[in-house]
Structure 1
């Protein structure tokens, strides 16, 4: 695995906050962190160096655990926004694993359900120092806690380095027994937590959802039959929800609406729409809005629209507009430049 693996730079915010809260004499280090935060990602090796630098300023036990437990979804980059918009913790974790490469190229994760327990294990090819492993374990626990708005008490955890003398600190911070000298980072949580709804709120995500609502209003069809119109509106809302959860198929939407696929298609036809046409129209409308936002990378836009591959999004956008998303953005920039001139 390449040593050029990178992670979202947002994780550096937890280090900055810790240095400031502890009032550590590290002004130069804080400046370095601020510079690193100017980019959306940072190399995994660089992040390990920053963790080490904080530890040298404050060599306390289980420092990576302490830092990671203060993590927030926004620090996970676009993956954080994706999981924040899911309906349940189970949906969020499924999407987290689906897009794990966006978090770190050298991240390999596996999970399995057994006897009412979700067992997870993952390895990090580059960010594999003891401090980085501690941080990775704890920031994942913090993510789950913030998403469902309540404490997540693991059943057991494991770390891939020798057993330290002060094991009790690890167990006290995580609230569970912790094993060491494991082959991977490990975490076991009660499976019933997967059904809990997502309660986290994020201002940036809220803005995106508001854009979606505005787009829906703009494309409302003129349907004389009130019942048909209400059904169409419910379909639009569920399409958006299904895109966020990563499955915008007609089967998924129909099931969520509590009707058979045959009834679903029939009622859509009554409104003068096909599902394929509705989904494409919704995606095209939102794609134009998202691409006008410079804060969103093309990968982010593809994920928000429910595409698992950026190449699929590029092909679809070209079929709608005759240009790639990159060409569309360049055109927007030229138009804005002309207006400014």
Structure 2
């Protein structure tokens, strides 16, 4: 009933909005509207529906169906759906934007990272609450492996999207896995641009995560630099509601040096401020080896915040171990947590202050204490 009512309206819409010539290969505008309404309702907005038998022979296009529509057209289609059907308050049922949940997760699950807790929460909350943002939000996470960079990226995804990292609004790119052949960088550029564009067209607030960003080829980042810049649109597409997270080990030594200096001077690590680290991180990132440092993302000053992740101490490792046991429905005693922490490697050699692996191997290491 709903589909029959909307189909004539969608047919009229397709007559007045620009559509790529590829779609004109279908026999009639009516067929176009019927097919794409069913596709939109069943797949994009996840309506509770089943295809008609006579639709069984229709093939879903090899490319995303939104590629032929302008951004204004997709917005109009969306408003039409919301006016006639059921729509979430957020405007997109896949987007939850649970800032309260993000604050709770950062406060209770992330240990030893007061700077990351504060900066990530304020940056994400401010961006979401500002409907007139003049550019996408771009954050760069820095620190040793195991300090929580991936953990926080997952927290952001889990609280901003109903299906977390599995949401089709979230795209994760791992540099050495997705872009491992330097000779294929030109092909990767096209694939990456298309992936980002398609995600932005199908989702009102997309999230892109680039892990091991220091290993990205500079040309690859420069290829998507316009999507993170201060443009109203790029080729008719508005990218200003997108969030980009870059995760990197660059700056880990600098962060550790500052933390060690504070410890030697008798100051609390919680007294370390962004003013102690952010400028040094920016400078070190621009001087580092690798594509991320040499890209126009740095020279164009398009990163909004350089987020430092501090090295973790023994008591932080114990908290991670406690969480790992709790995740298995168990409560570990103090002696067991002490044993888990003692089993880790600590540096520098003299002070044995910071966990060399952070909390990364804790879930696997507690298996030893359960056998």
TM-score category, normalised to shorter length: under 0.3
**Higher RCO (CA 8 Å, separation ≥ 6 residues):** 2
Greater helix proportion = 1
What TM-score do the two structures reach when normalised by structure 1?
Answer: 0.26
TM-score (norm 2): 0.24
**Larger gyration radius, structure 1 or structure 2:** 2
